[in-house]
Structure 1
Amino acid sequence: MAEFDVNQTIEQARSTYESIAKAVDPEILNNKIHELEQQASAPGLWDDQDHAQQVTSALSVAQTQLRHLQSARQRLEDVETLLEMAQEEEDKDTLDEAQRDAEQLLQDLSDMAIQTLLDGEYDARAAVVTIRSGAGGVDAADWAQMLMRMYLRWAERHGFKTQIMDTSYAEEAGIKSATFQVNAAYAYGRLSVEGGTHRLVRISPFDNQGRRQTSFAAVEVIPLVEATDHIDVPDSDIRVDTYCSSGPGGQGVNTTYSAVRITHLPTNIVVTMQDERSQIQNRAAAMAVLQSRLLVLRHEEEAKKKKELAGDIKASWGDQMRSYVLHPYQMVKDLRTGYETSDTQGVFDGDIDAFIDAGIRWRHQQRREAAEEKAEENKE
């Protein structure tokens, strides 16, 4: 292992650390923690439970950010010291250890750098993901199920808990739609860049003539509502229908009217839940998803008003955001960021962090360019 390689990795790590420290600013973060600690220790804080939850949650996030930043700085100093020792003693084993530590630190810092870009209003939330089959018949239903497996495997890789909330199975194979929850901090911020239309090109396993088939599936990602969101849904605005669950399950699932369909009459949003064993549980889960979708709708309406004032953004998500090609060659390519890989099996097994990170950087760039355009228009 050449000393040049180790020095280069450490330099990259230091540069990444400095960009994070500039974005986060430890001094401002310390002041924020001090203010939140004072609020958290105030008498009567829990008289208002919603406010108390906001304060304690914000304090926990800020403390974690500072702790990670301080740890990264200490690790950077440690690996620099280790490199100096290796150079002084001309010890190859120590040099190799320094390189391994530096590479791991660089990876961890890269993850932290992505985290600093997750500064949207709901980015820190858990995520509710809905996948729907599109054009392509049975292949599209199979493709929707493949996508669901991909995201569940991604969550499993990260140790994130998931909960399948609703599954509508297709007649021949695959699924018509499915909704599941990813319970992890910043799950929404990360997965939100996966929203859009996903296209699969392959030799259809359902075609007797072995012809190439193109199929589509839509991915929707919304933030999970919290008690502090105050999304008011009057009973007069919803219609609740109950029915027997379908698909795999025992008698307790398939022979009782436990499944719930809630229709929000003003917007015609429909949410179905059938994966819990009781009607009460399914209704509660369906209401949570309905409130999440109404929250997103409200956010989109606000964003639309801002966009009308700022003008059109040059780049847009479009109907098709990623292509997965299995024939005549192997390639997964994101059409927004340009990131691609030939490791299609790895992607289907949940190795999609590079796509997610590229999407987050792309989104941040779009927002920055839109803000710059608006600033220029204001000058004029």
Structure 2
Amino acid sequence: MNPDVAAELKDLSETLEGIERVMDLDALRARIAELEEEAARPDLWDDVEYAQRINSQLVHKQSDLRKITGLRQRLEDLEVLYQLGEDEDDKASVAEAEQERTQLKRDLADLEIRTLLSGEYDERSAMVTIRAEAGGVDAADFAEMLMRMYLRWAERHEYPVEVYDISYAEEAGIKSATFRVDTPFAYGTLSVEQGTHRLVRISPFDNQGRRQTSFAGVEVLPVVEETDHVEVPEKDIRVDVFRSSGPGGQSVNTTDSAVRITHQPTGIVVSCQNEKSQLQNKAAAMRVLQAKLLARKREEERAELDALRDSSGSGWGNQIRSYVLHPYQMVKDLRSGYEMGNPESVLEGQIDGLLESGIRWRRQQQDQQQQS
């Protein structure tokens, strides 16, 4: 076998061994056995929500195990394929092995990133809210660009997305939008996007063609589950209904089915207008409100810990990324220093490199805090 190929296959095997240790295959198999036993209980479906949760966990754990064992089998098969191609001088087999090696590297890198997502809520789906900040119409346009970027990213990975609410700006773009990315580890992955994003470009809205800087904020929350018990008493909320509208004030619904919920103790306001009925919109808005209340609770707990650790300034909620379209072309993560020279591809949803750099940076920060 070619020495360079042999060395890379050895590196891939060592990477997979590290993943197998972190994910603890024996513990994973034991957990699957427990969940299978629980799922087989005759009275399981007496509590539908609990049953759904057990079955969902079982499916995800089984998928994780299949993915790891499948990668190990693919790596072993790849070595055989290379050897066979070289022994028989079969160029087609060697070409197939080269293609599989490239794909295997990608799949291992994706799984390695998963091992870095070990936070309390990292396995959950994500609730994403984007808001236009400073910069006027350019900021509203930038907020819409960011929303498209995340939706295109989810589409590329075939992750289901549910848009809860969009508030359109008067001239162009959006004031805000809230949507849910519904796949395991969406929160852990997208949480590194939280903070302020900055765009520098020649403004398409400036008739003098001047360069403008605008800002948009991204908030990422874990989707609330029943086990979180975020109770919202009816007396604490005010529910207003209104007519849904689209861009430019165009009516998209002739009934007052859109719902706005105000949580009176905190002043948090959420709305949903994209479902067909008032009841559906209220249920969706309540899910967003519960996620925000959970995040508020976690933020208060984190603030208490930060005060004890005297870790002021270690947060990453301010400017996290710059998108420069003029006078040069670059997207830069301001925390990790990771750069990409093609903003157009980034804004089309090719953000996996940025997400990976953010996850690795966050893990480094966590490790340093634990050591200090």
TM-score category, normalised to shorter length: over 0.9
Please report how far the alpha carbon of residue 248 of structure 1 lies from its aligned counterpart in structure 2 after TM superposition.
Answer: 4.1
Contact 1:9 1:99 in 2 (8 A): no
Same amino acid, percent of matched pairs: 57
Instruction: Provide the rounded CA distance (Å) in 2 between the counterparts of 1:245 and 1:166.
Output: 10
**Aligned AA (2:194):** G
**Aligned AA (1:370):** Q
Instruction: Provide the rounded CA distance (Å) in 2 between the counterparts of 1:278 and 1:91.
Output: 62
Q: Which residue number corresponds to residue 273 of structure 1?
A: 272
Q: Which residue number corresponds to residue 25 of structure 1?
A: 24
After superposition, the Cα gap between the structure-2 partners of 1:342 and 1:314, relative to the gap in structure 1 and judged at 3 Å, is: same
Q: Which residue number corresponds to residue 237 of structure 1?
A: 236
Please report how far the alpha carbon of residue 313 of structure 1 lies from its aligned counterpart in structure 2 after TM superposition.
Answer: 7.0
Contact 2:245 2:251 in 1 (8 A): no
Q: Deviation per CA, 1:79-133, whole angstroms, max 9, x where unpaired?
A: 0111222332344433232221111111101111111222222222221111100
Q: Which residue number corresponds to residue 285 of structure 1?
A: 284
Q: Which residue number corresponds to residue 293 of structure 2?
A: 294
Q: Which residue number corresponds to residue 322 of structure 1?
A: 321
Contact 1:200 1:324 in 2 (8 A): yes
TM-score scaled by length of structure 2: 0.94
**Aligned AA (1:111):** D
Contact 1:50 1:228 in 2 (8 A): no
Please report how far the alpha carbon of residue 223 of structure 1 lies from its aligned counterpart in structure 2 after TM superposition.
Answer: 1.6
Q: Which residue number corresponds to residue 118 of structure 1?
A: 117
After superposition, the Cα gap between the structure-2 partners of 1:372 and 1:245, relative to the gap in structure 1 and judged at 3 Å, is: same
* Corresponding position: 1:190 with 2:172: no
* More moved, 56-65 vs 12-21: 56-65
Contact 2:170 2:248 in 1 (8 A): no
Contact 1:253 1:277 in 2 (8 A): no
Instruction: Provide the rounded CA distance (Å) in 2 between the counterparts of 1:252 and 1:341.
Output: 40
Contact 1:199 1:216 in 2 (8 A): yes
SS of alignment partner, residue 252 of structure 2: helix
Q: Which residue number corresponds to residue 304 of structure 1?
A: 303
SS of alignment partner, residue 95 of structure 2: helix
Q: Which residue number corresponds to residue 131 of structure 1?
A: 130
Contact 1:201 1:327 in 2 (8 A): yes
Q: Which residue number corresponds to residue 140 of structure 2?
A: 141
Instruction: Provide the rounded CA distance (Å) in 2 between the counterparts of 1:358 and 1:61.
Output: 25
Q: Which residue number corresponds to residue 167 of structure 1?
A: 166
Q: Which residue number corresponds to residue 201 of structure 1?
A: 200
Instruction: Provide the rounded CA distance (Å) in 2 between the counterparts of 1:110 and 1:88.
Output: 30
| Structure 1, unaligned runs of 5 or more | 374-380
After superposition, the Cα gap between the structure-2 partners of 1:159 and 1:294, relative to the gap in structure 1 and judged at 3 Å, is: same
Q: Which residue number corresponds to residue 263 of structure 2?
A: 264
Please report how far the alpha carbon of residue 50 of structure 1 lies from its aligned counterpart in structure 2 after TM superposition.
Answer: 4.4
Q: Deviation per CA, 1:196-232, whole angstroms, max 9, x where unpaired?
A: 1000000001111110000000011112222332210
Instruction: Provide the rounded CA distance (Å) in 1 between the counterparts of 2:249 and 2:298.
Output: 40
Contact 1:195 1:220 in 2 (8 A): yes
CA RMSD of superposed structures (Å): 2.1
Contact 2:246 2:252 in 1 (8 A): no
Please report how far the alpha carbon of residue 285 of structure 1 lies from its aligned counterpart in structure 2 after TM superposition.
Answer: 0.9
| Structure 2, unaligned runs of 5 or more | none
Instruction: Provide the rounded CA distance (Å) in 1 between the counterparts of 2:248 and 2:70.
Output: 47
Q: Deviation per CA, 1:235-268, whole angstroms, max 9, x where unpaired?
A: 1111111222222499873442222111111111
* Structure 2 counterparts to residues 64-79 of structure 1, below 5 A: 64-79=63-78
How many positions carry a matched residue from both structures?
372
Please report how far the alpha carbon of residue 40 of structure 1 lies from its aligned counterpart in structure 2 after TM superposition.
Answer: 2.6
Instruction: Provide the rounded CA distance (Å) in 1 between the counterparts of 2:329 and 2:298.
Output: 38
Instruction: Provide the rounded CA distance (Å) in 2 between the counterparts of 1:120 and 1:217.
Output: 26
After superposition, the Cα gap between the structure-2 partners of 1:164 and 1:318, relative to the gap in structure 1 and judged at 3 Å, is: closer
Q: Which residue number corresponds to residue 108 of structure 1?
A: 107
